[in-house]
């Protein structure tokens, strides 16, 4: 069966650079927060059109750190989509706050601004919760509707996090999410568009004071002096080896984004007349973390593709608000009908920066055959 994500081709392309930088880091012995980490942070800030970037241990910590910096607590409400990975929601109750689940747009699968506005108004008038933060997700690699969402946040005095775990590198009207969000979070999990060879994460932002707080929080709350602690923090530092790997990958990242978009265009042309293909927001450029379509008989469709040697995945089969640990948390007025409908129909196909030629044609042929 073909790979769902072709990491081997990328690794072969970078092998000499990876061997050199890994050998250098091992020889120098600065395995945590070494000079490559500092260099990576500078490069990430520049790439993401932000003033500051700080790495951390994983994408989940990247979400938790700003909530810690803003001192969220019991009685605070954080508005999140339910059609997402668990990390987006789980960091909220871990801070003692309450997630309020919001519906998604039926075409982009990102947070619906109308559902968000309704959820905020309902929370203000019908509960004792205090609205504090919105976490919008760049789902499947494309930007959320940040102009609309940020306008709502500004009007309500709320902080805005761009959960760009799947979407770092995406843009909207030529701007990265940092142009609108108070903070953008990144995951470097290996399957992400910009992935390392283990766990890793980062945050990018414009606010120097917030950056200073997060720098302390990621390292046990340490202050200016070593072993002098100013606050309670986490152990959330990035390994230098992972930073070195990411530096090598960042050099070809823009080229890979171009490749992913070419593959997405070929998919849309190849089977867009027989299945519902993704819609990218006007002015948006996706990094295509996943290429997700909708079909009627999903299990039958997946079985036929498997017979043809084409792997598939489902992101996400059970919305977070329907999972047992989250069932008691509030949802937007009217429920989340778009989220629940999409969860039964979506299926993701192979996608990476090297998808093309016979491999992609095999996917296109399998899709067309499966729905014939």
The kind and range of the H/E element at 367 are helix 357-371
* Contact of 189 with 59, CB cutoff 8 Å: yes
DSSP class per residue in 56-72: ES-HHHHHHHHHHHTT-
Average pLDDT, the chain: 97
pLDDT value for 75: 98
Torsion angles phi and psi, residue 112, rounded to 5: -85, 115
pLDDT value for 112: 98
Q: Which domains does the chain have, with CATH numbers?
A: 7-102+110-250 (3.40.640.10), 253-371 (3.90.1150.10)
pLDDT value for 1: 79
Coil/strand/helix, residue 184: strand
Q: Within the chain, which residues score under 50 in pLDDT?
A: none
pLDDT value for 310: 98
* Contact of 194 with 250, CB cutoff 8 Å: yes
pLDDT value for 76: 98
């Amino acid at each position: 069966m073909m790979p769902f994500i072709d990491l081997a081709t990328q690794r072969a392309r970078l092998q000499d650079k990876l061997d050199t930088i890994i050998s250098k880091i091992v020889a120098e012995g600065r395995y945590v927060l070494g000079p490559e980490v500092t260099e990576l942070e500078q490069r990430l800030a520049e790439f993401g059109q932000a003033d500051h970037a700080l790495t951390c241990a994983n994408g989940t910590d990247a979400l938790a750190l700003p909530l810690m910096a803003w001192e969220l607590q019991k009685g605070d409400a954080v508005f999140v989509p339910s059609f997402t990975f668990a990390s987006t929601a789980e960091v909220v109750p871990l801070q003692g706050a309450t997630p309020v689940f919001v519906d998604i747009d039926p075409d982009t699968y990102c947070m619906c601004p109308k559902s968000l506005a309704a959820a905020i108004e309902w929370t203000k008038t019908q509960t004792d919760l205090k609205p504090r933060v919105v976490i919008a997700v760049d789902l499947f690699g494309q930007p959320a509707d940040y102009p609309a969402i940020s306008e709502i946040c500004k009007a309500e005095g709320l902080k805005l996090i761009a959960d760009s775990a799947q979407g770092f590198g995406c843009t909207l009207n030529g701007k990265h999410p940092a142009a609108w969000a108070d903070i953008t979070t990144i995951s470097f999990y290996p399957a992400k568009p910009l992935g390392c060879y283990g766990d890793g994460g980062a945050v990018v932002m414009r606010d120097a004071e917030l950056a200073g707080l997060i720098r302390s929080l990621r390292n046990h709350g340490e202050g200016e002096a070593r072993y002098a602690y100013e606050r309670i923090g986490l152990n959330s530092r990035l390994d230098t080896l992972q930073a070195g790997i990411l530096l090598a990958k960042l050099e070809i990242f823009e080229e890979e984004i171009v490749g992913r978009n070419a593959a997405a265009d070929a998919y849309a042309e190849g089977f867009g007349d027989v299945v519902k293909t993704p819609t990218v927001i006007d002015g948006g450029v996706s990094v295509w973390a996943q290429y997700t379509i909708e079909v009627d008989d999903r299990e039958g469709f997946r079985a036929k593709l498997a017979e043809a040697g084409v792997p598939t995945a489902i992101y996400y089969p059970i919305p977070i608000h329907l999972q047992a640990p989250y069932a008691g948390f509030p949802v937007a007025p009217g429920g989340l009908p778009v989220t629940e409908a999409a969860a039964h129909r979506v299926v993701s196909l192979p996608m990476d920066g090297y998808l093309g030629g016979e491999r992609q044609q095999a996917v296109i042929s399998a899709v067309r055959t499966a729905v014939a």
